[in-house]
Amino acid sequence: MSPRETILNALHARLSALPATALRGEVLPERVPSDGLLILRDGEPGEPEVTLSPLAYHYQHRAEIEAVVQGATRDAAFDTLIASIGAVLAADRTLGGLCDWVEAEAPRPVDLPVEGAASLKAAVIPVVLHYSTADALA
């Protein structure tokens, strides 16, 4: 498995430890679980900085976490979910030594009306994964 895939799997595993349902690369399901929903999107590795001798590609990979909650207490549930994501990332900024650094950016929440149901509160949380690899395709 490539370093990129290993890092994304480790991030997904950390998110899976939260009470919310954590998916990776899936479409938004018809129903949002009561504890909330997280969808990890692989994002873009971007253009790496390259060093020679030894050859290394240094990435600032921008993955995204879609966070969604629904219900009458969605504001409080959303706040709790976002705080738990922050806590799990802060607990291990290197994902067990796989990354140089992991840092989330602030979410921009939006309320989305749903016909015949409680509104959704959702946000995309950019997560920057700093890592190096010896091969741009690895």
User: What ranges do the domains of the chain cover?
Assistant: 3-43+62-133
The pLDDT tens digits along the chain (138 residues) read: 899 999 999 999 999 999 999 999 999 888 899 999 999 999 999 999 999 989 999 999 999 999 999 988 999 999 999 999 999 999 999 999 999 999 999 999 999 888 888 889 999 999 999 999 999 887
Sign of CA dihedral 43, 126, 11, 18: negative
- For residue 31, what pLDDT is reported? 87
Q: Could you tell me the pTM of the whole model?
A: 0.93
> CATH assignment of 3-43+62-133?
3.30.70
Q: Is-contact 69 81, C-beta < 8 A?
A: yes
What end-to-end distance do the CA atoms of the chain give, in Å?
Answer: 8
Q: What are phi and psi of 59, to 5 degrees?
A: -105, 150
Q: Do 21 and 35 form a contact (C-beta atoms < 8 A)?
A: yes
